[in-house]
Amino acid sequence: MLKVDYADWQVYPRKNCRRVQSACVQAAALFGSELWWKGDNAHGMVGRREEIQKLVNQEARATTGAFRTTNQGALSLESGIKPAVVQLDNRLRRFALRLASLPRGDQARELVGSTDSALGQRIQSALGCWNDREETVLLEVASPLDASATIEEEAAAALEARRLDRPGLSIFTDGSRLENGATGYAVAWKRGASWKGRKTHMGWGQEAFNAECAAIARALQVSATRNHAVGTVTIFTDAQAAIWRMTSGDPGPGQKCALEARRHIAALRAKQPNVKIEIRWCPSHQGIEGNEIADQWAKRRRRTGRPRSRMVFHHEP
């Protein structure tokens, strides 16, 4: 009701009238129907169904301004208000699905698939086929990030990113987004005199923040799947927000990548228990070779490619 202001009512009177009918009249009339509705052909339901249908007809006429003699099918189609049987069946079906989504061991969930009570039988009938194969997936509880995250002053961070004598594996990451919503990311690391990397087109409708987080998770995956051991893994990114997101597994944007990062770190430590893993911030557009290459590849990949496609390539200096 609070969403229906006077100006909107003047522009869309029928839509808002239907909204009021649904929020007020139907909500009160159908309250608790999940417990007493047994189906259209069940004993004792005809009278209650007809009472609800008369109310639905009144709602439809109030919405459209039609006469009492208007055909019910045309009235329902024009008003957008579903017949009583459809509404009652849908409410029972949604109620059954809510019970089925409860964790195992919950007493209310035991009604699903049970034939010991009339309510359990109705719920089973509403779901159609309940073979107990459905499972409830609970939210994953994130463990602490088993890696260090470092954000230094700009000068010190740039100096660290330019180091050529850094031990182990150093990976630079970057994500990019176009105005049309196309996003992509790239990870790059140096092997000998040339650069090797991965680039991914993520599709459309995502933010640059998601691409930055996905790039860090991908860099950790690359580290975990290498054939030979490295004593130190250092990942550089120019997105401080993405670094903070990796340190937290709380729900919100980027959580999927943060959880993936933890799984890749666990896989890497399973092979190398003493490996040192560090995620560091490096300033962008400061002439840092790895950062510039990752930036170019990410911008190139956001424009072309199918979603989630991957490429391997080299860059000769």
22-36, 191-205, 294-308: range with lowest mean pLDDT: 294-308
Q: Cα–Cα–Cα angle for 47, 50, 55, nearest 5°?
A: 135
- Gyration radius of the chain's alpha carbons: 29
Q: Which are the contacts of 68, defined by CB distance < 8 A and separation ≥ 6? A: 61
Lookup: tokens for 292 = 């510039």
pLDDT attached to residue 113: 63
Give the closest residue to 174 by CA, choosing from 199, 150, 207, 204.
199
Mean pLDDT of all residues in 172-182: 87
Mean pLDDT of all residues in 240-254: 90
18-27, 54-63, 67-76: range with lowest mean pLDDT: 18-27
Give the closest residue to 26 by CA, choosing from 90, 102, 78, 105.
90
pLDDT attached to residue 78: 78
43-47, 186-190, 233-237: range with lowest mean pLDDT: 43-47
More confident residue, 302 or 129: 302
Whether 139 shows a pLDDT value over 50: the answer reads yes
CA atoms within 13 A on the CB side of 217: 22
Phi, psi of 309 (to 5 degrees): -75, 155
Mean of the per-residue pLDDT values for the chain?
A: 80
Measured between alpha carbons, how far is 235 from 170 in angstroms, rounded to an integer? 6
Find the helix or strand (DSSP H, E) in which 162 lies.
Answer: none
pLDDT attached to residue 127: 67
Whether 33 shows a pLDDT value over 50: the answer reads yes
- Read off the pLDDT of residues 147-166 as tens digits, 9 standing for 90 and up: 999 999 999 999 999 988 88
Query: Where are the extended beta strands (E) located within the chain?
Result: 148-150, 169-177, 183-191, 194-203, 232-237, 276-281, 309-315
Mean pLDDT of all residues in 172-190: 89
Q: Cα–Cα–Cα angle for 161, 163, 167, nearest 5°?
A: 105
pLDDT attached to residue 291: 93
Mean pLDDT of all residues in 192-204: 86
36-45, 168-177, 300-309: range with lowest mean pLDDT: 300-309
> Do 273 and 240 form a contact (C-beta atoms < 8 A)?
no
Kindly indicate the confidence band of residue 81, based on its pLDDT and cuts at 50, 70 and 90: confident
pLDDT attached to residue 312: 46
Give per-residue burial for 35-72: e unless 16+ CB within 10 Å, then b: eebbeeeeeebeeebeebbebbbebbbbbbebeeebee
Kindly indicate the confidence band of residue 265, based on its pLDDT and cuts at 50, 70 and 90: very high
pLDDT attached to residue 278: 96
pLDDT attached to residue 66: 79
Whose tokens are 């401080």? That residue is 240
Mean pLDDT of all residues in 28-41: 81
pLDDT attached to residue 185: 93
Measured between alpha carbons, how far is 60 from 63 in angstroms, rounded to an integer? 5
pLDDT attached to residue 261: 94
* Domain extent listing, the chain: 6-127, 148-315
Kindly indicate the confidence band of residue 131, based on its pLDDT and cuts at 50, 70 and 90: very low
Kindly indicate the confidence band of residue 243, based on its pLDDT and cuts at 50, 70 and 90: very high
pLDDT attached to residue 179: 81
- Read off the pLDDT of residues 281-306 as tens digits, 9 standing for 90 and up: 999 989 999 999 999 988 887 665 55
3-state secondary structure of 69: coil
Q: How many residues does the chain have?
A: 317
Whether 169 shows a pLDDT value over 90: the answer reads yes
pLDDT attached to residue 298: 87
Find the helix or strand (DSSP H, E) in which 204 lies.
Answer: none
Dihedral of alpha carbons 65, 66, 72, 77, sign: negative
Q: How far is CA 115 from the centre of its chain?
A: 36
Measured between alpha carbons, how far is 266 from 127 in angstroms, rounded to an integer? 40
Measured between alpha carbons, how far is 299 from 25 in angstroms, rounded to an integer? 54
Give the closest residue to 189 by CA, choosing from 158, 157, 215, 154.
215
Kindly indicate the confidence band of residue 317, based on its pLDDT and cuts at 50, 70 and 90: very low
Q: Does CATH number 3.30.420.10 belong to domain 148-315?
A: yes
Give the closest residue to 93 by CA, choosing from 121, 123, 119.
123
